[in-house]
Structure 1
Amino acid sequence: MHEHIAEAVKEPDVVTVPPGAVCLRFETMKLYSALGAVRHLLDTGQVKPGDTLIDSSSGIYAHALALACHRYGLKCHIVGSTTVDRTLRVQLEILGATLEQVRPSKNLRLDQNLRVERIGELLRENPGYHWMRQYHDSIHYLGYRDVADLIGKEVPEGPLALVGGVGTGASTGAIATYLREAGRDVTLVGVQPFGSVTFGAEHVLDPDMIIAGIGSSIPFQNVRHELYDRIHWVNFDYAMSGAVELLRASGIFAGLSAGAAYLATLWERERDDSRTYVFLAADTGHRYVDSAYAQHGQALGLGAMRPHEVTEQHELRHPWSTMDWPPSDSALLRGEPLLVPGAV
């Protein structure tokens, strides 16, 4: 029996998806991140019950942090993207969290910059608030050890390929880290939207692809680039088509990042079927009904979608590009840090 709904909701469904892939379908994946981080903060005395935790979110993390705060008796304030819908706003209000949304914007860069600026203002006005820094602090890796343990139990022994959104790096990066520490042979495949700076695609814009959870217009300091073996950049049309095909093929109703991860999984498995492929569906598809699923009549079939294989970022182009990581001209190979990993 669970002591709180957060513990029950966080657990994913482990589903076989033909041909030969496994989907971890979460309702709110970032509950692992939020619960693990909040427990650590309380255990180490950095916060205490009654304190206020704040952060920026496009939606998934807002729900996760609100539930974690409800679980442990903390206050929660979210600076949200315009993608936070009415269903989530009502839940946050009833849970006791407060939400303010930045003004509407047409691209990921402006949306994230506005939210970060507002966080800075709030901290100056309320120095007692604790900023969770989901984009920067490696504390968010901690909770994902449980996901790695689950994969270790549910997925047969042998080489794995883990596929999913990069986001802050505290999901795919963390899960792969713990699996590798346990001795598993893991290839890590990250999924990004065009326009994200995280792996150098800021010069190729996609204004329709506002999925802040898998890409960034600002440097995320807890992304550990050296953990990744392959990167896929997928635009809105292909991510939507992938999500529709995933629902049609398996019944899994998930977000756009899952659609992109599904495409990447199928392509990678075609290249190398010696591994078991595990891909992440970080959230359900409910908030994408109007913006994506309603366009299912325009979805492309799987056979029509193939990526451009590139070797350097300047070759990236719509609708789908992929490359080995690190590229030949990567700063990693020259020993230069791209971002500062770990807590800041």
Structure 2
Amino acid sequence: MHPHIAEAVKKPDLISLESDLACLRFETMKIYSALGAVRHLLDTRAVQPGDTLIDSSSGIYAQALALACHRYGMKCHIVGSTTVDRSTRVQLEILGATLEQVAPSKNLRLDQELRVRRIAEILAANPSYHWMRQYHDAIHYYGYREVAASIDAGIPTGPLALVGGVGSGASTGAIATYLREAGRDVKLVGVQPFGSVTFGSEHVADPDMIIAGIGSAIEFQNVRHDLYDRVHWVNFDCAVSGAVALLRTSGIFAGLSAGAAYLSALWERRGDGSRTYVFIAADTGHRYVDSAYARHEQALDIDTLKPHEITSLDRLRHPWSTTAWPATP
């Protein structure tokens, strides 16, 4: 029996699509990050029960941190993007978390900068608050040790390839780290949107992309670039096509980052069949229904899609590019 709903919701499902292809499907992946980080802070007495934890979020992490605070008796304040939807806002309110949303911005970079600036103002006025720094602090790695253990137990012995969104670095990077520590041979493939500074695609815009959680418009300090073996940049149309194909072929209803990871995993598998491929579906598809899934009739046949294989970042281009990492600037 689970002691709290957060412990139940965090559990992923490892789903076999083919003998050498599996999907690690989460309801909401960042609960692992939030629970692990809050537990570590309490264990090290960096915070005390009843303290206020604060962070910035575009939605998914806000819900995860609110649940972690509810689990451990903490207060929660979120500086949110305008993309935080009504469902999340209502849940935060009922869970006792407070939310303030920054003014609408023309681009992701300005939105993230405004949120971080507002956090600095709040901390100056409330020095007892603890900033969780999901984009920067390595404590967000800790919660994923359990995920790595479940993959290690669920996937037969042999080489692995882990494919998924880079995000703040505290998901794919952490899982690969713990798997490698357990002795597994792991090829780590990171998925990025165009326009993300994390792996140098900020000069190639994709105004339709709405999966900001897998990329960044500001530097994320807890991304360890040396962990990654390959990187894929996938645009909105390809991500939608991948997500629709994933739902159609497997019944898995997941977010756009899962669609991008599915495409990337299939492509990597074509070039190297010596590994078992595990791609990550970090959230469900519900918040993408109107913006993406409603366009399913326009989705491209993924068998006709292939990435541009590049050797330097100045050759990045739509709709999909990939390279071994590190790449030439």
Q: Distance in 2 between matches of 1:48 and 1:183?
A: 36
Q: Distance in 2 between matches of 1:82 and 1:238?
A: 25
Partner of 1:208: 208
- What per-residue deviation string (whole Å, max 9, x for no partner) do you get for residues 33-80 of structure 1? 111100010011110111100101111111110000000000001111
Could you tell me how far 1:112 is from its partner in structure 2? Answer: 1.2
Partner of 2:40: 40
Equivalent pair of 2:123/2:129 in contact (CA under 8 Å): yes
SS in 2 for 1:24: strand
1:226-265 superposed matches below 5 A: 226-265=226-265
TM-score w.r.t. the length of structure 2 is: 0.98
User: What amino acid is the match of 2:278?
Assistant: V
Task: Specify every segment of 5 or more residues in structure 2 that has no aligned partner in the other structure, as ranges.
Answer: none
Partner of 1:123: 123
Partner of 1:114: 114
Could you tell me how far 1:19 is from its partner in structure 2? Answer: 6.8
User: What amino acid is the match of 2:110?
Assistant: L
Question: Moved runs in structure 1, 4+ residues, more than 3 A?
Answer: none
Q: Distance in 1 between matches of 2:154 and 2:140?
A: 23
Could you tell me how far 1:276 is from its partner in structure 2? Answer: 0.2
Q: Distance in 2 between matches of 1:271 and 1:141?
A: 30
Partner of 2:135: 135
Partner of 2:83: 83
SS in 1 for 2:213: coil
Q: Distance in 2 between matches of 1:44 and 1:143?
A: 15
Partner of 2:155: 155
Equivalent pair of 2:20/2:275 in contact (CA under 8 Å): no
TM-score w.r.t. the length of structure 1 is: 0.94
Equivalent pair of 1:107/1:208 in contact (CA under 8 Å): no
SS in 2 for 1:213: helix
Equivalent pair of 1:80/1:100 in contact (CA under 8 Å): yes
Of the structure 1 ranges 179-188 and 285-294, higher mean CA displacement relative to structure 2 is found in: 285-294
Partner of 2:318: 318
User: What amino acid is the match of 2:304?
Assistant: A
Q: Distance in 2 between matches of 1:303 and 1:213?
A: 26
User: What amino acid is the match of 1:122?
Assistant: I
Of the structure 1 ranges 230-239 and 96-105, higher mean CA displacement relative to structure 2 is found in: 96-105
Partner of 2:31: 31
Equivalent pair of 1:160/1:187 in contact (CA under 8 Å): yes
User: What amino acid is the match of 1:99?
Assistant: L
Q: Distance in 2 between matches of 1:20 and 1:58?
A: 34
Equivalent pair of 1:108/1:210 in contact (CA under 8 Å): no
Could you tell me how far 1:109 is from its partner in structure 2? Answer: 1.4
Cα distance 1:154–1:257, how it changes in 2: closer, same or farther (>3 A)? same
Q: Distance in 2 between matches of 1:225 and 1:316?
A: 18
Q: Distance in 2 between matches of 1:10 and 1:179?
A: 19
Of the structure 1 ranges 287-296 and 175-184, higher mean CA displacement relative to structure 2 is found in: 287-296
- What per-residue deviation string (whole Å, max 9, x for no partner) do you get for residues 266-298 of structure 1? 000011111000011000011111111111111
State the Cα RMSD in Å.
1.0
Identity level (%) = 78
Of the structure 1 ranges 199-208 and 210-219, higher mean CA displacement relative to structure 2 is found in: 210-219
Count how many residue pairs are aligned between Structure 1 and Structure 2. Answer: 329
User: What amino acid is the match of 1:293?
Assistant: Y
Partner of 2:177: 177
Partner of 1:335: none
Could you tell me how far 1:103 is from its partner in structure 2? Answer: 2.1
Equivalent pair of 1:108/1:207 in contact (CA under 8 Å): no
- What per-residue deviation string (whole Å, max 9, x for no partner) do you get for residues 218-271 of structure 1? 110000000000000001111111111111111111111001000000000011
